[in-house]
Amino acid sequence: MNGERALDLVAGARPNFMKVAPILRVLGAGPLSPRLVHTGQHYDEGMSGVFFRDLGIAEPDVYLGVGSGSHGQQTARILAAYEEHLVRTRPAAAVVVGDVNSTMACTLAAVKLGIPVAHVEAGLRSFDRTMPEEINRLVTDTLADLLLVSEPAGEENLRREGIADGRIRYVGNVMIDTLVRELPGARALGVTERLGLPAGGFAYVTLHRPSNVDDPARLARLANLLGALGARLPVVFPVHPRTRERLRGTGLEGQLASAPGVLLLEPLGYRESLGLMAGARLVLTDSGGVQEETSYLGVPCLTLRPNTERPVTVSLGTNVVVGEEIERAWPLIEEVLAGRHKAGRPIPGWDGHAAERVAAALAERYGGQNRPAGPRDPG
């Protein structure tokens, strides 16, 4: 235990790791001493281990090892295990990122013990409570003490929900810090060439949301879309474990694997994935992070969901939300292939320095001497 200025930084699932990496790096050089807590919500080499190596994150200080389960089981296991750790160590605050079950469960555990929580990526709302992440965001933001916001809509949503201005801070996007740092290395890997793909001439696909992959009829329509797209240009699809399980269960895995032009892969590491995204003509996704990354990269992105909690990727970035009807993707795909997709514009605070603003806000609120966070303009 590092005394009362020790700060927990919580990560649990794949999209958390690229968010904690830059915060850890900056905090490590400042007055607060960070302690990395990995809940073990994701535990596979491909979903966790490779990210630690790709992003240069040291072994977690604490590993809770909760594993998979239903939402109730998983949340309960994280809550109990993290509470036990908090009682023993009592950090000055817990910093949580994103919107996964670990984010919400650790928030609950901490606030019940009177330990303040800072939420990185606060205020995002899809206004769709059928999404597990929306429930996690609502609970986390209601209970958090310091709300660190990544895009303009975050501030508006929190104010509308009655959160006091003094607790909200626009810091920008820490995931873009990681992207900026890793992009040269990702390009140098040459994954596109290794897979024999034409530079700028393939589609990159990620799909894992329960709303897309858990319904066999919808999954079949998505598989048809990808099969037909493969006839137009190569389609690269690293398959999330949840999606792999569902494709197998519905017999669609074979159909998709044998579709001409479609390349199914195991989940990729951060750098390989970024290298492919940066070299793609088009990205099809239901991930939140990928909408942001493609916006920064200027790569056309079609989001296969009815909504997005990241509207700045649509207003300033390269993202278009396809909507409920999967087939509506076709005219949008044609636009991209004809070179008519909108170009993105810079987004405030998506500049590679968000973690510095996070660290300054944390030091100001929980101790230490970092200067207050800077202006919200891009650097």
Active site residue 208: yes
Q: Is 44 in the site for ligand UD1 (CB under 6 A)?
A: yes
Residue keyed to tokens 């927990």 = 8
- As a whole number of angstroms, the distance between CA 38 and CA 91 comes to 15
Q: Is 38 in the site for ligand UD1 (CB under 6 A)?
A: no
For the bound state, the minimum distance from the C-beta of residue 30 to ligand UD1, rounded and expressed in Å, comes to: 29
- As a whole number of angstroms, the distance between CA 152 and CA 346 comes to 13
For the bound state, the minimum distance from the C-beta of residue 73 to ligand UD1, rounded and expressed in Å, comes to: 10
For the bound state, the minimum distance from the C-beta of residue 360 to ligand UD1, rounded and expressed in Å, comes to: 28
Site string for ligand UD1, 194-213 (x = CB under 6 A): --------------x-----
The SS3 of residue 121 is: strand
Site string for ligand UD1, 18-37 (x = CB under 6 A): --------------------
Q: Is 119 in the site for ligand UD1 (CB under 6 A)?
A: no
Closest to 143 (Cα-Cα) out of 108, 167, 93: 108
Q: Is 133 in the site for ligand UD1 (CB under 6 A)?
A: yes
Q: Considering only residues 245 through 274, tell me which ones interact with ligand UD1, judged by CB under 6 A.
A: 245
Residue keyed to tokens 């159909």 = 255
Burial of 166 from C-beta contacts in 10 A (0-12 / 13-18 / 19+) = exposed
For the bound state, the minimum distance from the C-beta of residue 253 to ligand UD1, rounded and expressed in Å, comes to: 15
For the bound state, the minimum distance from the C-beta of residue 102 to ligand UD1, rounded and expressed in Å, comes to: 7
Burial of 87 from C-beta contacts in 10 A (0-12 / 13-18 / 19+) = exposed
DSSP code of 200?
T
Please identify which residue in 61, 116, 128, 132 interacts with ligand UD1, judged by CB under 6 A: 132
What residues contact 252, with CB distance under 8 A and at least 6 apart? 219, 220, 223
Do 121 and 144 meet the contact criterion of CB atoms below 8 Å apart?
Answer: no
- As a whole number of angstroms, the distance between CA 197 and CA 236 comes to 9
Please identify, using beta-carbon distances, which residue of 192 and 243 lies nearer to ligand UD1.
Answer: 243
Please identify, using beta-carbon distances, which residue of 73 and 258 lies nearer to ligand UD1.
Answer: 73
Count residues contacting ligand UD1 (CB under 6 A)?
19
Q: Identify the active-site residue in 42, 119, 208, 341.
A: 208
Q: Is 43 in the site for ligand UD1 (CB under 6 A)?
A: yes
- As a whole number of angstroms, the distance between CA 359 and CA 32 comes to 9
Which one of 43-51, 83-91, 107-115, 174-182 is the stretch in contact with ligand UD1 (CB under 6 A)? 43-51
- As a whole number of angstroms, the distance between CA 379 and CA 376 comes to 9
Residue at 271: amino acid letter: R
- As a whole number of angstroms, the distance between CA 7 and CA 134 comes to 26
- As a whole number of angstroms, the distance between CA 31 and CA 52 comes to 24
For the bound state, the minimum distance from the C-beta of residue 334 to ligand UD1, rounded and expressed in Å, comes to: 29
Q: Is 367 in the site for ligand UD1 (CB under 6 A)?
A: no
Please identify, using beta-carbon distances, which residue of 33 and 68 lies nearer to ligand UD1.
Answer: 68
Point out the residues that are catalytic: 208
| Interacting residues toward ligand UD1 by CB under 6 A | 13-15, 41-44, 47-48, 68, 100-101, 132-133, 208, 240-242, 245
